[in-house]
Amino acid sequence: MNMAMTKWFGVFGLLLAASCGLAGGDRIELHDVNDLGVVAIESARFEDHGDQVFELRGLDAGDEPVALVRRRVGSIAELPQLPSVGDMGSEIIISVRDHQTRIVTRATSELELAPVEDPASREFVKLAAVSSVLRDADIIVTSRTTGESAFYQAVSCPSDYLLTSPLARQCCYDDWARDTLFINPSGTKVYRTRNYYGTGCKAMDGVSSCLGTDCYYGPNGFTRAQMQVPNAGNVWTVQTYGGQFCTAYQDPREIIFPDVAGAYPAGQVCPGGNNNSAGYWDY
């Protein structure tokens, strides 16, 4: 396993790959007991009003859906219009029982899913990892575990990892997983992962060359942002898990991380390709 992959704890991360020519679904029976009561996983790919959709459903013993992972690739209203790509991106919904997580991002192909705060949602994502249907769909799941990170900790973000605008509120940097987690001025949670090798405009392996918007890591060496608006009436508070991982909660908690003004200019591009990538990695 190369160093770019060993930044994760364990072998699980969610890589959701957009797919052309979406086909019918498949079903996998689960034999291990789990707290969600999921006994089978069913997947489907289809087109909905021109958008490409992948769905993964967790079914109980009565064949009723109790959990869902859904990715829609198409026009995302929250994403600002860019000259070359408009508001194209992905909407990811993870729904378990009465809890729903909704994430939007400009990423339309490879994606390492941001950690979710809901334990039941994390459990379903882990269950999904055992499905051969997911592997066929180029979906890989990553979950962090403790135990190997005694010499690492979550710290305040370095300013050169952030853009000059907007201000990154309560900014936390995890120096093992190499991700930033902060709140932007609109109250949205923003998550990005840094290239293990620290270099910008690279493919997903962190070393291969790429062109324009096809690059996985942008000019500053970070992935495209994944953004999550809090539920109505709630606000995000950035915290740590065990002092080692950056996380965020929607209930009131003590603010422990400072706001950080970035030093890297916004609107930068990765050269080459058919599209202008200016603003593609901004948040």
pLDDT for 133-142, tens place per residue? 555 545 555 5
- pLDDT value at residue 141: 59
H/E stretch holding 122:
helix 119-128
Confidence of residue 97 (pLDDT cuts 50, 70, 90): confident
Which class for 143: exposed (0-12), middle (13-18), buried (19 or more C-beta within 10 A)?
Answer: middle
pTM of the model: 0.85
Q: Is the pLDDT of residue 174 over 70?
A: yes
- Cα 142 from Cα 149, distance rounded (Å): 16
More confident residue, 17 or 187: 187
What average pLDDT does the segment 105-134 reach?
81
CA distances from 56 to 79, 92, 125, 146, 228 (A): 25, 11, 10, 28, 20
Of residues 139, 138, 141, 137, the one with CA closest to residue 22: 137
- Please report where in the chains the tokens 């853009």 appear, as a residue: 163
Give me the chain's average pLDDT, please: 84
Give the highest mean pLDDT range of 49-63, 112-126, 133-147: 49-63
CB-based contact 77:89 (threshold 8 Å): no
What average pLDDT does the segment 231-260 reach?
92
List CB contacts of 40: < 8 A, sequence separation 6 or more.
27, 28, 29, 30, 58, 59, 63
- pLDDT value at residue 94: 92
- Cα 159 from Cα 61, distance rounded (Å): 51
